[in-house]
Homo-oligomer: A and B are copies of this chain.
């Protein structure tokens, strides 16, 4: 559908949006503020706008009188764009004219970068890890009664030049009957060696010609969520995917509590079983959706952080959480999937991504591989901000990595009204710099319940940009607004009044919450500086940033730079790779070139325990400001702050 133009007045700012968008979301994306308290549910009635020309659908509400409607008033959160339209935002009180004259800064999220089979082939990186070969074997006769396996192996050698074949017991068990189902017409599935000098593994034999069906499963074991994809190895397409909460959540929200559980009695066995069950649920879902024959799946590639990996493999994680933080292994051998308890064919091999250290795990290695960081010349900062934050700096020649104890702020944890990115979470925000009225946008357009990670960043950035908080995250005590108040000696900003929420309480952001965020972003930013420092480089040397993790998909890059979470860099140089762990797992399923390099890359990744790195604490303390003590690191923010001060002055 052709996009429609909305012209916002009095700003006189035009923007094109897809039909079906609400006026409120369109304004927010454009950077134009409309007061809105209730998240978009149409309850608070604050987001009144006047349709001056053109047509919108809906937007009516009992909060608007018939007279209002006649005058063209609609609720922006409910009014849906169907045609070009001119919308006036009523300037009801003391809107600062200066604000109207500055060009609104629209949201900018990172470009999404995903590689597919075509890209791999183009880059010369396609080495099929699993291949099927159709064979019409000569049936045995009295004068030629070679054992079945010998017949197959020698035919593969003679007719297909396939040598160095390894055949596992589960396949041998199948062979006698499968051979005789279609008169010795069979398809052999070969798992290629990672290194050319290795052996081919005959992992399956099927009757008839099944060469057009060749699949793999890629899986990411997150602390919170487990995702699986069923990948077509011939086309590179994702045939089906599914995500589930990691069943281990009921044993603890984060890796530390999981480890503590695993240390007690048969805790490891239990918690292992739980994640295997989650994995099996996902396997069964993607199998059900795709309706493919389980026999046509040959591998499952699994990536997860170090703790998730050890729990999944049933390896005691006790020493991960104790100084000096030693994981069990870097590299895990390929293992039969059934041996792990996975409900897959007896021939399926499970490949597990290697780990760097106790807190830089296979998910990060998968990200480095899947994003292509391991083969770029560009100096790259890779950041995965989730329950924990991991960063990698480097390029194809060297890499330094670290885990930052960011705390759970970016997942909505540790805040008075924090919540996960679920329905009712304030995910986006704007503030009227004069009236301090908010524009809350919630996930699902319902009355707010709390604040999620990306919302928090946007709120703090907006409060800072408008001078409502200072660089230390303290509210301006001189502001005369009912929205800023002091309760139990703690200043807070009221995002939504009780009546406009779902929780029968005012939703507020306290200075303690802001302090939490500053510590979290300070830990991450100073981690980047420390890694760069250790190799004699600085932020300005960075050629690109790769963001990974669920968090990165929605974060407004400019706002993340305003608060000093991301280094200030041209937003066009920031790409988002989504669930990089899952992507890395998928890429390993598609080509052996990834697996050829993964061990050396893992060995190349120098791990820094930040708490053991002398410069880290200095960097950290310097980063406990918005955006930073050293404003020269953030020239654009510096400029904007200066302009704001001039505007106020």
Contacts and interface: CB of A to CB of B under 8 A. Distances in A.
B319 A176 contact: yes
A165 to B, nearest CB: 10
Given A168-B333, A172-B332, A328-B148, A177 B612 contact: no
A534 interface: no
Contact of A612 (B143, B166, B329): B143
A160 interface: no
A146 B314 CA distance: 20
Interface string A177-221: 100100000000000000000000000000000000000000000
Contact of A327 (B147, B177, B333, B339): B147
Interface in A129-166: 140-150, 166
Contacts of A339: 169, 339
Interface string A249-283: 00000000000000000000000000000000000
Contact of A149 (B314, B319, B329): B329
Contacts of A172: 313, 315, 328-329, 332
B176 A328 contact: yes
A647 interface: no
Copies, count: 2
A239 interface: no
Contact of A148 (B145, B173, B314, B327): B327
Interface of A is mostly: loop
Contacts of A148: 319, 326-329
Given A142-B612, A166-B333, A326 B177 contact: no
A562 B42 CA distance: 110
Interface residues of A, number: 45
A339 B328 CA distance: 24
A140 B327 contact: no
Contacts of A313: 169, 172-173
A247 to B, nearest CB: 21
Given A147-B355, A169-B335, A328-B176, A142 B323 contact: yes
Given A169-B335, A315-B172, A147 B324 contact: no
Interface of A: 140-150, 166-169, 172-173, 175-177, 180, 313-316, 318-319, 323-333, 335, 339, 355, 357-358, 609, 612
Closest A-B pairs by Cβ, 9 of them: A149-B329, A145-B324, A142-B324, A147-B327, A140-B326, A147-B330, A140-B324, A150-B330, A176-B316
